[in-house]
Amino acid sequence: MPPVTKPPICDDRRLEPIAEKVAAGERLSYDDGLVLYGSPDILTIGYLANLVRERKSGNVTYFNVNRHINPTNVCVAACKLCAFGRQVRDPKAYTMSLEEVWRTAGSGYTEAVSEFHIVGGLHPELSLDWYCEMIRGLKERFPQVHLKVFTMVEVGYLARRSHLTIEETLWRLKEAGVDSMPGGGAEIFIERVRRIICDHKITGEEWLNTARMAHRIGLQSNATMLYGHIENDEDRVDHLMKLRELQDETGGFVTFIPLAFHPANTPLEHISPTTGFADIKNIAVARLLLDNFPHVKAYWIMMTPKIAQVAQRFGADDIDGTVVEEKIYHDAGATTTQSLRRAELLRLIRKAGREPLERDTLYRPVSRNEATFTVLV
Ligand code: V47
Protein backbone atom coordinates (compact mmCIF):
# COMPACT_ATOMS: atom_id res chain seq x y z
CA MET A 1 0.00 0.00 0.00
CA PRO A 2 1.38 3.52 -0.77
CA PRO A 3 2.04 5.62 2.36
CA VAL A 4 -0.90 7.81 3.40
CA THR A 5 0.23 11.42 3.23
CA LYS A 6 -3.02 13.32 3.70
CA PRO A 7 -5.35 12.94 6.65
CA PRO A 8 -8.38 10.85 5.68
CA ILE A 9 -10.83 13.46 7.02
CA CYS A 10 -10.29 17.06 8.18
CA ASP A 11 -12.86 18.12 10.78
CA ASP A 12 -11.94 21.70 9.93
CA ARG A 13 -12.26 22.27 6.15
CA ARG A 14 -9.94 25.30 6.37
CA LEU A 15 -7.09 22.84 6.94
CA GLU A 16 -7.56 21.09 3.60
CA PRO A 17 -5.34 23.43 1.53
CA ILE A 18 -2.70 23.21 4.26
CA ALA A 19 -2.89 19.42 4.17
CA GLU A 20 -2.35 19.56 0.39
CA LYS A 21 0.75 21.72 0.85
CA VAL A 22 2.20 19.49 3.57
CA ALA A 23 1.62 16.38 1.46
CA ALA A 24 3.46 18.09 -1.42
CA GLY A 25 6.29 19.28 0.84
CA GLU A 26 5.46 22.94 0.16
CA ARG A 27 6.29 25.76 2.56
CA LEU A 28 3.40 27.12 4.65
CA SER A 29 2.63 30.85 4.75
CA TYR A 30 2.01 33.35 7.54
CA ASP A 31 -1.74 33.04 6.85
CA ASP A 32 -1.53 29.24 7.06
CA GLY A 33 0.04 29.73 10.48
CA LEU A 34 -2.94 31.80 11.59
CA VAL A 35 -5.35 29.14 10.32
CA LEU A 36 -3.43 26.47 12.25
CA TYR A 37 -3.48 28.45 15.48
CA GLY A 38 -7.18 29.31 14.96
CA SER A 39 -8.28 25.72 14.40
CA PRO A 40 -9.45 23.37 17.16
CA ASP A 41 -8.80 20.35 14.90
CA ILE A 42 -5.75 19.17 16.80
CA LEU A 43 -5.92 15.66 15.35
CA THR A 44 -5.53 16.87 11.76
CA ILE A 45 -2.82 19.35 12.75
CA GLY A 46 -1.06 16.64 14.76
CA TYR A 47 -1.36 14.18 11.88
CA LEU A 48 0.30 16.66 9.52
CA ALA A 49 3.01 17.58 12.02
CA ASN A 50 3.71 13.91 12.62
CA LEU A 51 4.08 13.39 8.89
CA VAL A 52 6.77 16.10 8.72
CA ARG A 53 8.43 14.79 11.87
CA GLU A 54 8.63 11.26 10.48
CA ARG A 55 10.01 12.55 7.17
CA LYS A 56 12.83 14.20 9.09
CA SER A 57 13.55 11.73 11.91
CA GLY A 58 11.70 8.52 11.09
CA ASN A 59 10.67 6.68 14.23
CA VAL A 60 13.50 8.02 16.39
CA THR A 61 13.06 10.18 19.49
CA TYR A 62 16.27 11.87 20.60
CA PHE A 63 17.34 12.50 24.18
CA ASN A 64 20.58 13.33 25.95
CA VAL A 65 22.23 12.99 29.33
CA ASN A 66 22.78 16.55 30.42
CA ARG A 67 23.13 18.76 33.46
CA HIS A 68 21.82 22.29 33.94
CA ILE A 69 24.00 24.73 35.87
CA ASN A 70 22.81 28.23 36.82
CA PRO A 71 25.86 30.02 38.26
CA THR A 72 23.82 32.97 39.58
CA ASN A 73 20.21 34.07 39.95
CA VAL A 74 21.21 37.72 40.42
CA CYS A 75 19.70 39.63 37.51
CA VAL A 76 19.38 43.30 36.67
CA ALA A 77 16.60 42.72 34.16
CA ALA A 78 13.65 42.04 36.53
CA CYS A 79 11.51 40.57 33.74
CA LYS A 80 7.84 40.15 34.62
CA LEU A 81 7.84 36.68 33.09
CA CYS A 82 10.53 35.38 35.43
CA ALA A 83 10.46 33.91 38.95
CA PHE A 84 14.16 33.01 38.95
CA GLY A 85 15.99 36.36 38.88
CA ARG A 86 16.77 38.23 42.14
CA GLN A 87 18.15 41.63 43.08
CA VAL A 88 21.72 41.53 44.49
CA ARG A 89 20.50 42.20 48.05
CA ASP A 90 17.60 39.72 48.01
CA PRO A 91 18.08 37.10 50.77
CA LYS A 92 17.40 34.40 48.17
CA ALA A 93 20.05 35.73 45.76
CA TYR A 94 23.02 33.43 45.16
CA THR A 95 26.20 33.56 43.11
CA MET A 96 28.50 30.57 42.89
CA SER A 97 32.25 30.94 43.09
CA LEU A 98 34.24 29.45 40.20
CA GLU A 99 35.12 26.49 42.44
CA GLU A 100 31.42 25.97 43.18
CA VAL A 101 30.52 25.97 39.47
CA TRP A 102 33.22 23.38 38.75
CA ARG A 103 32.21 21.27 41.77
CA THR A 104 28.50 21.45 40.84
CA ALA A 105 29.37 20.32 37.32
CA GLY A 106 30.88 17.12 38.64
CA SER A 107 28.41 16.38 41.42
CA GLY A 108 25.30 14.42 42.03
CA TYR A 109 25.05 11.94 39.22
CA THR A 110 26.52 8.59 38.35
CA GLU A 111 25.69 8.72 34.64
CA ALA A 112 28.36 10.60 32.66
CA VAL A 113 26.79 13.71 31.15
CA SER A 114 27.56 14.71 27.56
CA GLU A 115 26.32 18.31 27.92
CA PHE A 116 26.38 21.14 30.43
CA HIS A 117 23.56 23.62 29.79
CA ILE A 118 24.66 26.81 31.53
CA VAL A 119 22.60 29.98 31.80
CA GLY A 120 22.08 32.53 34.55
CA GLY A 121 20.95 36.02 35.50
CA LEU A 122 22.46 39.26 34.19
CA HIS A 123 24.82 39.85 37.10
CA PRO A 124 26.04 43.48 37.39
CA GLU A 125 29.50 42.49 38.67
CA LEU A 126 30.56 39.23 37.04
CA SER A 127 32.88 40.09 34.14
CA LEU A 128 33.43 38.48 30.77
CA ASP A 129 36.85 37.39 32.06
CA TRP A 130 35.18 35.61 35.00
CA TYR A 131 32.86 33.74 32.65
CA CYS A 132 35.74 32.86 30.30
CA GLU A 133 37.67 31.46 33.26
CA MET A 134 34.60 29.46 34.28
CA ILE A 135 34.40 27.97 30.77
CA ARG A 136 38.13 27.24 30.58
CA GLY A 137 37.98 25.55 33.99
CA LEU A 138 35.07 23.37 32.87
CA LYS A 139 36.86 22.39 29.66
CA GLU A 140 39.99 21.46 31.60
CA ARG A 141 38.05 19.32 34.08
CA PHE A 142 35.48 17.83 31.66
CA PRO A 143 37.07 17.89 28.19
CA GLN A 144 34.56 15.39 26.81
CA VAL A 145 31.46 17.41 27.81
CA HIS A 146 29.83 19.77 25.28
CA LEU A 147 29.36 23.28 26.69
CA LYS A 148 26.01 24.77 25.63
CA VAL A 149 26.34 28.10 27.32
CA PHE A 150 24.74 31.60 27.51
CA THR A 151 21.61 32.92 25.85
CA MET A 152 21.76 35.70 23.28
CA VAL A 153 20.54 37.97 26.10
CA GLU A 154 23.54 37.17 28.31
CA VAL A 155 25.91 37.73 25.38
CA GLY A 156 24.28 41.14 24.71
CA TYR A 157 24.70 42.14 28.36
CA LEU A 158 28.32 40.94 28.60
CA ALA A 159 29.18 42.80 25.38
CA ARG A 160 27.69 46.04 26.71
CA ARG A 161 29.45 45.75 30.07
CA SER A 162 32.80 44.90 28.45
CA HIS A 163 32.55 47.64 25.80
CA LEU A 164 32.98 45.01 23.09
CA THR A 165 30.94 44.28 20.00
CA ILE A 166 28.69 41.23 19.94
CA GLU A 167 31.10 39.60 17.52
CA GLU A 168 34.13 40.22 19.76
CA THR A 169 32.26 38.90 22.79
CA LEU A 170 31.17 35.76 20.96
CA TRP A 171 34.75 35.13 19.79
CA ARG A 172 36.05 35.49 23.36
CA LEU A 173 33.50 32.95 24.59
CA LYS A 174 34.18 30.58 21.73
CA GLU A 175 37.92 30.77 22.28
CA ALA A 176 37.38 30.04 25.99
CA GLY A 177 35.55 26.82 25.07
CA VAL A 178 31.84 27.52 24.43
CA ASP A 179 30.67 24.87 21.93
CA SER A 180 27.12 26.06 21.18
CA MET A 181 24.34 28.17 22.65
CA PRO A 182 20.92 27.41 24.15
CA GLY A 183 17.75 28.98 22.77
CA GLY A 184 16.54 31.02 25.74
CA GLY A 185 15.63 34.68 25.94
CA ALA A 186 13.81 34.80 22.61
CA GLU A 187 10.40 35.02 24.36
CA ILE A 188 8.20 36.71 21.70
CA PHE A 189 10.03 39.00 19.28
CA ILE A 190 7.29 41.65 18.85
CA GLU A 191 8.16 44.76 20.88
CA ARG A 192 4.60 45.40 22.11
CA VAL A 193 4.77 42.12 24.04
CA ARG A 194 8.44 42.43 25.07
CA ARG A 195 7.80 45.84 26.61
CA ILE A 196 5.43 44.18 29.05
CA ILE A 197 6.97 40.79 29.80
CA CYS A 198 10.71 41.60 29.59
CA ASP A 199 11.21 45.31 29.04
CA HIS A 200 14.89 45.49 30.05
CA LYS A 201 16.01 42.63 27.83
CA ILE A 202 17.58 43.05 24.40
CA THR A 203 15.02 43.64 21.63
CA GLY A 204 13.75 40.86 19.39
CA GLU A 205 15.86 42.25 16.57
CA GLU A 206 18.96 42.22 18.78
CA TRP A 207 18.28 38.59 19.75
CA LEU A 208 18.08 37.64 16.07
CA ASN A 209 21.22 39.63 15.18
CA THR A 210 23.18 37.98 18.00
CA ALA A 211 22.05 34.54 16.82
CA ARG A 212 23.03 35.50 13.25
CA MET A 213 26.51 36.50 14.43
CA ALA A 214 26.91 33.36 16.57
CA HIS A 215 26.03 31.18 13.59
CA ARG A 216 28.43 33.13 11.35
CA ILE A 217 31.37 32.46 13.65
CA GLY A 218 30.49 28.79 13.87
CA LEU A 219 28.47 28.59 17.08
CA GLN A 220 25.24 26.74 16.43
CA SER A 221 22.30 27.47 18.70
CA ASN A 222 18.77 26.54 19.63
CA ALA A 223 15.75 28.83 19.53
CA THR A 224 12.75 29.12 21.85
CA MET A 225 9.38 30.84 21.98
CA LEU A 226 7.60 31.63 25.23
CA TYR A 227 3.82 31.27 24.82
CA GLY A 228 0.76 31.40 27.04
CA HIS A 229 1.03 34.92 28.49
CA ILE A 230 -0.18 38.10 26.75
CA GLU A 231 0.75 37.21 23.19
CA ASN A 232 -1.77 36.43 20.44
CA ASP A 233 -1.79 34.13 17.40
CA GLU A 234 -0.28 36.82 15.15
CA ASP A 235 2.62 37.36 17.56
CA ARG A 236 3.44 33.65 17.64
CA VAL A 237 3.27 33.25 13.86
CA ASP A 238 5.43 36.36 13.43
CA HIS A 239 7.99 34.88 15.85
CA LEU A 240 8.14 31.58 13.98
CA MET A 241 8.42 33.31 10.59
CA LYS A 242 11.37 35.42 11.81
CA LEU A 243 13.15 32.29 13.03
CA ARG A 244 12.47 30.52 9.74
CA GLU A 245 13.83 33.48 7.78
CA LEU A 246 17.05 33.56 9.80
CA GLN A 247 17.45 29.81 9.50
CA ASP A 248 17.18 30.15 5.69
CA GLU A 249 20.08 32.58 5.90
CA THR A 250 22.42 30.84 8.38
CA GLY A 251 21.31 27.22 8.84
CA GLY A 252 22.71 27.57 12.37
CA PHE A 253 19.67 26.58 14.43
CA VAL A 254 19.61 23.02 15.67
CA THR A 255 16.38 22.66 17.66
CA PHE A 256 13.28 24.70 18.30
CA ILE A 257 11.74 24.54 21.78
CA PRO A 258 8.32 26.05 22.50
CA LEU A 259 8.23 27.04 26.19
CA ALA A 260 4.95 27.26 28.11
CA PHE A 261 4.73 30.25 30.44
CA HIS A 262 4.56 29.24 34.13
CA PRO A 263 2.98 32.18 35.98
CA ALA A 264 3.48 31.17 39.65
CA ASN A 265 5.70 33.52 41.69
CA THR A 266 5.99 36.01 38.82
CA PRO A 267 4.38 39.49 38.59
CA LEU A 268 2.10 37.91 35.94
CA GLU A 269 0.71 35.38 38.43
CA HIS A 270 -2.87 36.36 37.52
CA ILE A 271 -2.47 34.66 34.11
CA SER A 272 -3.76 31.06 33.96
CA PRO A 273 -1.22 28.36 33.13
CA THR A 274 -1.31 26.88 29.63
CA THR A 275 -3.46 23.85 28.84
CA GLY A 276 -2.28 20.48 27.51
CA PHE A 277 -4.13 21.36 24.30
CA ALA A 278 -2.09 24.55 23.84
CA ASP A 279 1.16 22.74 24.64
CA ILE A 280 0.53 20.06 22.01
CA LYS A 281 -0.73 22.63 19.51
CA ASN A 282 2.43 24.75 19.82
CA ILE A 283 4.63 21.74 19.16
CA ALA A 284 2.61 20.77 16.09
CA VAL A 285 2.31 24.27 14.59
CA ALA A 286 6.04 24.87 15.10
CA ARG A 287 6.87 21.60 13.36
CA LEU A 288 4.70 22.62 10.40
CA LEU A 289 5.92 26.22 10.04
CA LEU A 290 9.61 25.68 10.80
CA ASP A 291 10.23 23.44 7.81
CA ASN A 292 13.97 24.25 7.86
CA PHE A 293 14.58 23.34 11.53
CA PRO A 294 15.95 19.82 11.86
CA HIS A 295 14.39 19.20 15.30
CA VAL A 296 11.52 20.24 17.59
CA LYS A 297 11.95 19.52 21.28
CA ALA A 298 9.17 18.79 23.79
CA TYR A 299 10.97 19.90 26.96
CA TRP A 300 9.57 17.55 29.60
CA ILE A 301 10.41 19.86 32.51
CA MET A 302 8.10 22.48 31.07
CA MET A 303 5.29 20.29 29.65
CA THR A 304 5.47 17.39 32.14
CA PRO A 305 6.88 14.02 31.07
CA LYS A 306 3.38 12.82 30.11
CA ILE A 307 2.61 15.62 27.64
CA ALA A 308 6.18 15.56 26.30
CA GLN A 309 5.70 11.86 25.61
CA VAL A 310 2.40 12.40 23.72
CA ALA A 311 4.08 15.26 21.82
CA GLN A 312 6.36 12.64 20.23
CA ARG A 313 3.36 11.78 18.03
CA PHE A 314 2.38 15.42 17.37
CA GLY A 315 5.55 16.79 15.79
CA ALA A 316 8.31 16.57 18.40
CA ASP A 317 11.35 14.34 17.83
CA ASP A 318 13.19 15.19 21.04
CA ILE A 319 12.33 15.13 24.74
CA ASP A 320 15.46 16.90 26.14
CA GLY A 321 17.54 15.06 28.73
CA THR A 322 18.16 14.09 32.32
CA VAL A 323 18.58 17.82 33.19
CA VAL A 324 19.56 16.98 36.83
CA GLU A 325 18.98 20.33 38.50
CA GLU A 326 16.40 22.64 36.93
CA LYS A 327 15.78 25.98 38.66
CA ILE A 328 14.09 28.44 36.28
CA TYR A 329 10.81 26.53 35.92
CA HIS A 330 10.79 25.24 39.47
CA ASP A 331 11.02 28.76 40.86
CA ALA A 332 7.95 29.48 38.69
CA GLY A 333 5.95 26.67 40.27
CA ALA A 334 6.74 23.70 38.01
CA THR A 335 5.61 20.51 39.74
CA THR A 336 7.74 18.11 37.69
CA THR A 337 10.80 16.53 39.30
CA GLN A 338 14.13 18.32 38.76
CA SER A 339 15.65 15.38 36.92
CA LEU A 340 14.82 12.11 35.18
CA ARG A 341 17.05 9.08 35.04
CA ARG A 342 18.18 7.90 31.63
CA ALA A 343 16.19 4.68 32.12
CA GLU A 344 12.97 6.66 32.68
CA LEU A 345 13.51 8.66 29.50
CA LEU A 346 14.00 5.41 27.60
CA ARG A 347 10.77 4.03 29.05
CA LEU A 348 8.73 7.14 28.13
CA ILE A 349 10.04 7.09 24.58
CA ARG A 350 9.50 3.36 24.07
CA LYS A 351 5.98 3.52 25.50
CA ALA A 352 5.18 6.15 22.85
CA GLY A 353 6.17 3.58 20.22
CA ARG A 354 9.33 5.49 19.35
CA GLU A 355 12.89 4.29 19.18
CA PRO A 356 15.13 6.14 21.68
CA LEU A 357 18.41 7.47 20.34
CA GLU A 358 20.87 9.08 22.74
CA ARG A 359 22.47 12.09 21.10
CA ASP A 360 25.05 14.71 21.95
CA THR A 361 24.07 18.40 21.76
CA LEU A 362 24.54 18.48 17.98
CA TYR A 363 22.54 15.28 17.46
CA ARG A 364 25.46 12.95 16.85
CA PRO A 365 24.62 9.50 18.24
CA VAL A 366 26.22 8.58 21.53
CA SER A 367 27.13 5.08 22.64
CA ARG A 368 27.71 4.43 26.34
CA ASN A 369 28.22 2.15 29.20
CA GLU A 370 27.04 3.46 32.61
CA ALA A 371 30.05 5.56 33.50
CA THR A 372 31.22 6.91 30.17
CA PHE A 373 30.11 7.69 26.64
CA THR A 374 31.49 7.91 23.10
CA VAL A 375 30.20 10.23 20.38
CA LEU A 376 29.77 8.23 17.17
CA VAL A 377 30.51 10.71 14.39
O1 V47 B 1 14.56 32.31 28.31
C2 V47 B 1 11.72 32.09 32.29
C3 V47 B 1 11.86 30.91 30.06
C4 V47 B 1 13.87 30.25 29.32
C5 V47 B 1 9.77 31.48 32.90
O6 V47 B 1 18.21 25.45 24.30
C7 V47 B 1 10.11 30.89 31.70
O8 V47 B 1 18.09 23.33 24.72
C9 V47 B 1 8.12 29.85 31.67
O10 V47 B 1 15.64 28.59 27.21
N11 V47 B 1 7.73 30.40 32.82
C12 V47 B 1 15.09 29.46 29.75
N13 V47 B 1 9.29 30.09 31.08
C14 V47 B 1 14.96 27.98 29.39
C15 V47 B 1 15.44 27.71 28.00
C16 V47 B 1 15.73 26.30 27.58
C17 V47 B 1 15.19 25.25 28.29
C18 V47 B 1 15.49 23.96 27.87
C19 V47 B 1 16.31 23.70 26.80
C20 V47 B 1 16.85 24.78 26.10
C21 V47 B 1 17.77 24.52 24.98
C22 V47 B 1 16.55 26.09 26.48
O23 V47 B 1 12.84 29.94 30.20
C24 V47 B 1 13.92 31.74 29.37
C25 V47 B 1 12.46 32.09 29.34
O26 V47 B 1 11.97 32.08 28.05
N27 V47 B 1 11.29 31.29 31.35
N28 V47 B 1 10.81 32.21 33.26
C29 V47 B 1 8.52 31.22 33.48
N30 V47 B 1 8.11 31.80 34.59
> Can you name the CATH fold of 52-361?
TIM Barrel (3.20.20)
pLDDT value for 8: 67
Give one word for 42, left, alpha or beta, with left for phi > 0 and alpha for psi -120 to 50.
alpha
Residue 224 Cβ inside 6 Å of ligand 1? The answer reads: yes
Q: Indicate which atom in ligand 1 lies nearest the CA of residue 265.
A: 30
Ligand 1: which residue has its CA nearest to atom 28? Answer: 82
Q: Indicate which atom in ligand 1 lies nearest the CA of residue 82.
A: 28
Residue 201 Cβ inside 6 Å of ligand 1? The answer reads: no
Q: Indicate which atom in ligand 1 lies nearest the CA of residue 84.
A: 28
Q: How far is the CA of 328 from the centre of ligand 1 (A)?
A: 7
Q: Following CA atoms 194, 195, 200, 206 in sequence, which dihedral angle do they give, to the nearest 10 degrees?
A: 50
Residue 324 Cβ inside 6 Å of ligand 1? The answer reads: no
Residue 261 Cβ inside 6 Å of ligand 1? The answer reads: yes
Neighbours of 157 (CB within 10 A): 24
Tell me the C-alpha distance between 261 and 256, whole Å. Answer: 16
Question: What is the full DSSP assignment across 277-311?
Answer: HHHHHHHHHHHHH-TT-SEEB--HHHHHHHHHHHG
| Residue-wise pLDDT tens digits, 90-124 | 999 999 999 999 999 988 656 689 999 999 999 99
pLDDT value for 1: 44
Q: How far is the CA of 49 from the centre of ligand 1 (A)?
A: 23
Residue 83 Cβ inside 6 Å of ligand 1? The answer reads: yes
The dihedrals phi and psi of 164, each to the nearest 5 degrees, come to -120, 165
Q: How far is the CA of 362 from the centre of ligand 1 (A)?
A: 19
| Residue-wise pLDDT tens digits, 70-95 | 999 999 999 999 999 999 999 999 99
Instruction: Determine the residue of 210, 328, 338, 359 to mutate for testing ligand 1's pocket, defined as the one with the most ligand atoms within 8 A of the Cβ atom.
Output: 328
pTM given for the model: 0.95
Q: How far is the CA of 151 from the centre of ligand 1 (A)?
A: 10
Residue 73 Cβ inside 6 Å of ligand 1? The answer reads: no
Residues of the chain with confidence (pLDDT) below 50: 1-2
pLDDT value for 120: 97
CA 53, 56, 61, 67 dihedral sign is negative
Tell me the C-alpha distance between 171 and 317, whole Å. Answer: 31
Ligand 1: which residue has its CA nearest to atom 14? Answer: 184
Q: How far is the CA of 119 from the centre of ligand 1 (A)?
A: 10
Ligand 1: which residue has its CA nearest to atom 5? Answer: 82
Residue 228 Cβ inside 6 Å of ligand 1? The answer reads: no
pLDDT value for 5: 66
pLDDT value for 136: 98
Q: Indicate which atom in ligand 1 lies nearest the CA of residue 266.
A: 30
pLDDT value for 333: 82
